[in-house]
Amino acid sequence: MGENRTNINWFPGHMTKAKREMQEKLKMVDMVVECRDARIPNASKNPLLEELIAHKPRCIILTKIDKADPKETEKWILSLKNDTTKVLGCNVLKDNMTQILTSASKEIMASFIERQKRRGINPRAIRIMIVGIPNVGKSTLINRVAKKKAVVAADRPGVTRTLQWVKINKDLELLDTPGVLWPKFGDENVGLCLGISGAIRDEILPMEEIFMFGLKYCMEYYPQYLISRFEIELSDDPLENLRRIARKRGCIKTANELDEEKAMNLFIREARDGLIGRISWERSDGNSE
């Protein structure tokens, strides 16, 4: 991970268009719901989005909390909330997202609703823009709330392509947006966190670096998960731990040679799926290294 490390860089052309459309559509919405991955609450924010939605009331939904360290998630919720931002941790697939989103939106927009009532106007539906980087669960959230396949969803980055309105009930109208990433990561750790969580396509990732980041991180913060999941004794040497994982999982080539690449891919896949344990890849104190 020295001078020659590979830059993780993903900014497809459709995302440039999405940013432009978002700037135009923001004028049409009352508030923003920003989805972030609870495992990487800092890395899964987007500086472009921060700039675009700076003056809008906001609700941050930390998704995939079932895969994140619950203690860290609670700390992140406390550190991210402020006077204009409500923060919720949600399991989008299991929680009652219609109720949660409706309640949170009414709370955030309470003064707006009250102003309408004072003017003798029946409060209209709150107009919300859904934003977030790819693969944080935006489309799944909308489908759960709308109770239909309103938006194409898939567990791979970059599926959503166009903006579309989804009417939820008399209280809510949602505007889905394509996931947007920024052109370059100022902090290499952000790219590593996005890589280990699956936010970026593997084809462009330095997978050995992603693996080494994930393994070293678990050795420091979640050693018991490695011992339990892979049934190995831990060494202080990450490469030795890789070899032990490969042996335990039968990652063997011909001539009884260890298949370390297969073991690395297995580790990354199980880390993403939450099989190793509930891991937050960033600490709420900002130390994710």
Q: Which of 126, 159, 176 is the last residue of a domain?
A: 176
Range 124-133 average pLDDT: 87
Measured in whole angstroms, how far is the alpha carbon of residue 77 from the centre of its chain? Answer: 14
Residues 168 and 240 in one domain: no
In a domain, 151, yes or no: yes
Where in the sequence is the domain holding 249, given as residue range(s)? 206-272
Residue 251 has pLDDT above 90, yes or no: yes
pLDDT score of 219: 98
pLDDT score of 137: 87
Collect all residues with Cβ–Cβ distance below 8 Å to 172 and sequence separation of at least 6: 101, 102, 105, 125, 126, 128, 145
Six token digits for residue 68: 């994140």
In a domain, 134, yes or no: yes
Confidence of residue 27 (pLDDT cuts 50, 70, 90): confident
Residues 162 and 101 in one domain: yes
Residue 288 has pLDDT above 60, yes or no: no
Residues 172 and 216 in one domain: no
Q: Are 53 and 79 in contact (CB under 8 A)?
A: no
In a domain, 289, yes or no: no
Residues 67 and 122 in one domain: yes
CA dist., res. 11 & res. 16, Å (int): 8
Residues 146 and 97 in one domain: yes
DSSP string over 16-73: HHHHHHHHHHGGG-SEEEEEEETTSTTTTS-HHHHHHTTTS-EEEEEE-GGGS-HHHH
In a domain, 18, yes or no: yes
pLDDT score of 285: 77
Residues 164 and 210 in one domain: no
CATH number of the structural domain spanning residue 90 = 3.40.50.300
Run of H or E including 109: none
In a domain, 49, yes or no: yes
Q: Checking DSSP bridges between strand 172-176 and strand 164-167, what pairing results, if any? A: antiparallel
Query: For residue 131, which of 223, 70, 49 has the smallest C-alpha distance?
Result: 49
Residues 153 and 216 in one domain: no
Residue 183 has pLDDT above 80, yes or no: no
In a domain, 152, yes or no: yes
For 61, 82, 90, 113, the CA distances from 106, given in Å and listed in that order, are 15, 17, 18, 8
The residue that leads in pLDDT, 144 or 195, is 195
Confidence of residue 23 (pLDDT cuts 50, 70, 90): confident
pLDDT score of 66: 96
Collect all residues with Cβ–Cβ distance below 8 Å to 175 and sequence separation of at least 6: 25, 28, 29, 127, 128, 129, 130, 163, 164, 165, 166
Residues 99 and 214 in one domain: no
In a domain, 3, yes or no: no
In this predicted structure, which of 49-58, 68-77, 117-126, 148-157 has the lowest mean pLDDT? Answer: 148-157
Confidence of residue 287 (pLDDT cuts 50, 70, 90): very low
CA dist., res. 210 & res. 204, Å (int): 11
pTM of the model as a whole: 0.85
Residues 28 and 158 in one domain: yes
Residues 224 and 114 in one domain: no
Amino acid at 139: S
Strand pairing partners for 258?
A: 252
Range 98-126 average pLDDT: 92
Residues 84 and 216 in one domain: no
In this predicted structure, which of 4-13, 97-106, 215-224 has the lowest mean pLDDT? Answer: 4-13
pLDDT score of 13: 58
Residue 261 has pLDDT above 90, yes or no: yes
CA dist., res. 134 & res. 170, Å (int): 29
SS (H, E, C) 212-280: HHHHHHHHHHCHHHHHHHHCCCCCCCHHHHHHHHHHHCCCECHHHCECHHHHHHHHHHHHHCCCCCCCC
> In the chain, how many domains are there?
2
pLDDT score of 254: 84
Residue 165 has pLDDT above 60, yes or no: yes
pLDDT score of 162: 54
CATH number of the structural domain spanning residue 215 = 1.10.1580.10
Range 101-105 average pLDDT: 95
Residues 86 and 155 in one domain: yes
Helix axes 97-108, 110-118, angle to 10 degrees: 60
Confidence of residue 214 (pLDDT cuts 50, 70, 90): very high
In a domain, 95, yes or no: yes
pLDDT score of 166: 77
